[in-house]
């Protein structure tokens, strides 16, 4: 009986949703028919407000007049209920009173800052990442924001690229799961809820593969690589219901994404059936002139609108050229109507036509952005994002009975540094409320523990004059904690670096501190994988603390003293040297596989270095230990319409309760095209008390064995297929630490 009721309920909900969509579509058409061509073009026009520029600024003092004339559809970088209300009031003076959309880069928090996305990805905790996005959306929507330009779902395999901090690392499987969770978090139960914001999957597409890791640089790749590695997270975002997409600055094989019809119309709006809208990235329409694909703004507008870019962020190419393109019969009004419909539909779905000010409630704003629960969640996910890279002789966790601790380094008392790139400083709101690493330790230790501090050195520069004071402080302590790394603005947009060593003389400071004979725990703060071989080889304990946001200090102290057992694992390979880049675990075997044994020549090794990373994808230690055993497959052969169940036993053999991230990799041993030596196809993050044993199960389906094979079917050069043959299944604690293996066969 219960099942019947739930089926009926589901049917009714679906009917209601379809009816609502139909009703909104009808409402859109009832507005569209009233609009002049100029007003239609106005909806495709987005301006930056004056709070902060996140791109090259065009000075324009006539925004209010243009909004009154219905020539603007959206603003970005407008903050707070008061300011959004004032702009919306102006929009209500326009002839048709079409409400403005307010967009903002709410990437990892709004007033409460969460760890940078790459750090959160290290938690592999999809629920936590969804909750983080949910809270960000709750705070942002309470402050007038309708739309976040997030999640960034670009796969990145080059840590020289500064925006690696903004995504989920190198792997399409993990990246897809995270993309889905983050979209669900931002958009909540449904658009139209006043605490839901539109998500924006960006940057479509393959922006993270910029040659040389140089931001905005060209991308050159095969369709196979595009479909197999760079597109899946976008498809996952779409499947999660992402309301919008943002295209990318890069050209893909010579065609700028903004003017790329294959990406935007054939794949996104065609094959994938996307019904939302695409916003160009900042000025990217006009930048097609620099790319050399168009001669002028007129041609740029033509290229972008025909390729499927619906809204023009800050280039003014649409505002200044679309009417002329219609007049010259270069485009039809129906092309513009399609873009306008997509945008108006979202404004209806958000409820803005019913009440343009529904996101402008000052009382709700104060309540939500000061909700103490949000900081608690930020602290929890920050602690889950810290990766324990080394812990010689279990130096960590530290005892709370220590009498004297020296906390040294240029980041110990930093505040805003902990926010990382893409933070938001809401004017007039204490959005800088950050728990410094120093404060976090003070909050943690008791009255019997003395904390000593010395800066030691700056982040950059060769000044070692602070070393003496640091050494003096170290000698008085039982344990030294050294907090070093990058500045927060050394990663992020337009922050590509050719040298990804720890800057300045920070490792020299470590060397001097180690010479005192005191045990040193190193915290490494960064938005990217850094190269730090001296630290890695000599420090007894290392925590990778990324940029952890508002609660950084408390989260770090929770892990340092064992109130939280670190469980994070790297979502991206850490190179030994920048010379290894691009470096990623799911590489092909080649005809002469690299070995770490340099005596063998004539293989794909370097002559001067291993090809293997310093720290592998999926690597991370714990204060306890886990043993994997008893890998069982319920069958050794499976047909394409069948599945295999793999079970494995995990035991916590240590003395501390903890969480482990068990990874399942698969290798297709023979394919019509070479297949990677392994690919992540599933994972489980499981809690185990000390001494506890659990058996976990994975289901292997044809989907997990499929890849894009170059078959020419229905004019598609690539087809998503699973080819019969032998497969190896691996259970790993990281991509390079495979604990158990089994083989099975896929039969016709
Ligand atoms: C920037 C970024 C993009 C961001 C946009 C608005 O240039 O590339 O990710 O959403 O402009 O700030």
Torsion angle, alpha carbons of 257, 258, 259, 263, to 10: 50
Strand order in the sheet with 541-544: 387-391, 541-544, 520-525, 479-485, 404-408, 450-454
CA-to-CA distance for 567 and 359, rounded, in angstroms? Answer: 38
**Helix segments in 350-495, DSSP class H:** 362-369, 372-385, 437-444, 467-475
- State both tokens at 229: 């590695």
Q: Using a 6 Å cutoff on CB, does residue 281 contact ligand 1?
A: yes
Q: Given 49, 154, 171, 281, which residue is catalytic?
A: 281
Is CATH 3.40.50.1700 the classification given to domain 396-560? yes
Q: Using a 6 Å cutoff on CB, does residue 173 contact ligand 1?
A: no
Residue 100 is given by DSSP the state P
Give me the CATH topology for the region 626-747: Immunoglobulin-like (2.60.40)
Active site residue 281: yes
- How many CB atoms are located within 10 Å of the residue 274 CB? 23
Q: Using a 6 Å cutoff on CB, does residue 558 contact ligand 1?
A: no
Q: What is the pLDDT of residues 429-461, one digit of tens each?
A: 565 589 999 999 999 999 999 999 999 999 999
Task: Supply the pLDDT for residue 534.
Answer: 98
C-alpha neighbours within 13 Å on the C-beta side of residue 27: 18
Give φ, ψ of 685 to 5 degrees. Answer: -100, 115
Position in ligand 1 atom list of the atom nearest CA 249: 8
| Atom 8 of ligand 1, nearest CA residue | 281
Biggest CA-to-CA distance, the chain: 81
712 — pLDDT class (breaks 50, 70, 90): low
Q: Using a 6 Å cutoff on CB, does residue 103 contact ligand 1?
A: no
| 723 pLDDT above the threshold of 70 | yes
| Atom 3 of ligand 1, nearest CA residue | 281
What 3-state class would DSSP assign to 723? coil
Task: Supply the pLDDT for residue 2.
Answer: 78
What 3-state class would DSSP assign to 350? coil
Q: Using a 6 Å cutoff on CB, does residue 163 contact ligand 1?
A: no
Cα 281 to ligand 1 centroid, rounded to whole Å: 6
Q: Using a 6 Å cutoff on CB, does residue 139 contact ligand 1?
A: no
Contacts of 327 (CB under 8 A, 6+ apart): none
Q: What is the pLDDT of residues 324-352, one digit of tens each?
A: 999 999 999 999 999 999 999 999 999 99
Cα 283 to ligand 1 centroid, rounded to whole Å: 10
Structural domain boundaries of the chain? 396-560, 626-747
Cα 97 to ligand 1 centroid, rounded to whole Å: 28
C-alpha distances (whole Å) from 66 to each of 45, 95, 319 are 10, 12, 11
Q: What is the pLDDT of residues 297-320, one digit of tens each?
A: 999 999 999 999 999 999 999 999
Cα 117 to ligand 1 centroid, rounded to whole Å: 15
CA-to-CA distance for 388 and 546, rounded, in angstroms? Answer: 12
| 152 pLDDT above the threshold of 80 | yes
| 136 pLDDT above the threshold of 50 | yes
């Amino acid at each position: 009986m219960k099942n019947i009721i739930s089926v009926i309920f589901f049917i009714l909900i679906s009917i209601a949703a379809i009816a609502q969509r139909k009703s909104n579509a009808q409402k859109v058409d009832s507005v569209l028919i009233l609009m002049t061509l100029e007003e239609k073009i106005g909806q495709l026009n987005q301006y930056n407000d004056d709070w902060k520029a996140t791109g090259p600024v065009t000075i324009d003092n006539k925004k209010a007049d243009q909004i009154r004339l219905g020539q603007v559809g959206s603003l970005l970088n407008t903050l707070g209920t008061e300011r959004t209300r004032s702009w919306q009031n102006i929009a209500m003076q326009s002839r048709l009173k079409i409400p403005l959309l307010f967009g903002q880069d709410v990437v990892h928090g709004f007033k409460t800052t969460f760890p940078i996305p790459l750090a959160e990805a290290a938690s592999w905790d999809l629920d936590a990442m969804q909750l983080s996005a949910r809270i960000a959306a709750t705070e942002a929507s309470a402050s007038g924001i309708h739309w976040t330009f997030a999640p960034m779902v670009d796969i990145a395999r080059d840590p020289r690229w500064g925006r690696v901090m903004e995504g989920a690392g190198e792997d399409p499987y993990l990246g897809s799961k995270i993309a889905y969770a983050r979209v669900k978090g931002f958009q909540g139960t449904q658009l139209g809820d006043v605490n839901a914001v539109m998500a924006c999957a960006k940057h479509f597409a393959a922006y993270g593969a910029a040659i040389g890791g140089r931001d905005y640089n060209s991308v050159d790749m095969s369709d196979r690589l595009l479909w197999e590695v760079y597109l899946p997270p976008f498809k996952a975002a779409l499947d999660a219901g992402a309301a919008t997409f943002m295209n990318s600055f890069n050209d893909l094989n010579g065609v700028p994404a903004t003017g790329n019809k294959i990406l935007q119309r054939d794949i996104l709006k065609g094959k994938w059936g996307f019904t939302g809208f695409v916003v160009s990235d900042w000025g990217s329409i006009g930048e097609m002139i620099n790319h050399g694909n168009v001669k002028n703004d007129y041609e740029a507008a033509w290229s972008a609108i025909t390729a499927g870019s619906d809204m023009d962020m800050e280039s003014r190419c649409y505002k200044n050229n679309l009417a002329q393109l219609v007049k010259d019969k270069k485009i039809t009004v129906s092309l513009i109507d399609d873009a306008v419909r997509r945008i108006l539909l979202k404004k209806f779905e958000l409820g803005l036509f019913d009440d343009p000010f529904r996101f402008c409630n000052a009382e709700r704003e104060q309540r939500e952005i000061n909700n103490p629960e949000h900081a608690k969640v930020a602290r929890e996910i920050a602690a889950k994002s810290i990766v324990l890279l080394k812990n010689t002789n279990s130096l960590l966790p530290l005892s709370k009975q220590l009498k004297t601790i020296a906390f040294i380094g240029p980041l110990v008392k930093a505040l805003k540094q902990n926010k990382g790139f893409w933070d938001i400083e809401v004017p007039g709101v204490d959005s800088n409320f950050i728990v410094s690493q120093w404060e976090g330790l003070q909050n943690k230790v008791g009255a019997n523990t003395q904390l000593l501090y010395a800066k030691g050195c700056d982040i950059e520069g060769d000044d070692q004059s602070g070393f003496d004071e640091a050494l003096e402080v170290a000698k008085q302590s039982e344990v030294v904690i050294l907090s070093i790394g990058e500045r927060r603005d050394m990663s992020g947009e337009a922050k590509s670096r050719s040298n990804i060593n720890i800057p300045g003389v920070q490792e020299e400071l470590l060397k001097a501190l180690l010479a005192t004979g005191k045990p040193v725990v190193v915290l490494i703060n960064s938005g990217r994988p850094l190269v730090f071989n001296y630290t890695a080889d000599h420090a007894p304990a290392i925590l990778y603390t990324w940029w952890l946001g508002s609660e950084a200090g408390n989260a770090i102290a929770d892990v340092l003293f064992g109130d939280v057992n670190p469980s994070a694992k790297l979502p991206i390979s850490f190179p030994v040297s920048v010379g290894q880049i691009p470096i990623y675990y799911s590489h092909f075997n080649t005809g002469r596989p690299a070995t770490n044994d340099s005596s063998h020549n004539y293989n794909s090794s370097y002559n001067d270095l291993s090809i293997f990373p310093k720290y592998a994808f999926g690597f991370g230690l714990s204060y306890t230990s886990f043993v994997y055993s008893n890998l069982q497959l319920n069958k050794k052969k499976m047909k394409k319409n069948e599945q295999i169940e793999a079970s494995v036993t995990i035991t916590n053999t240590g003395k501390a309760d903890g969480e482990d991230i068990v990874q399942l990799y698969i290798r297709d041993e023979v394919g019509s095209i070479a297949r990677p030596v392994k690919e992540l196809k599933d994972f489980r993050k499981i809690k185990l008390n000390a001494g506890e044993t659990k058996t976990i199960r994975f289901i292997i389906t044809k989907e997990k064995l499929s890849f894009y094979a170059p078959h020419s079917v229905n004019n598609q050069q690539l087809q998503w297929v699973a080819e019969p043959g032998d497969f190896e299944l691996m259970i790993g604690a990281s991509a390079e630490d495979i604990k158990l293996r089994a083989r099975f066969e896929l039969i016709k």
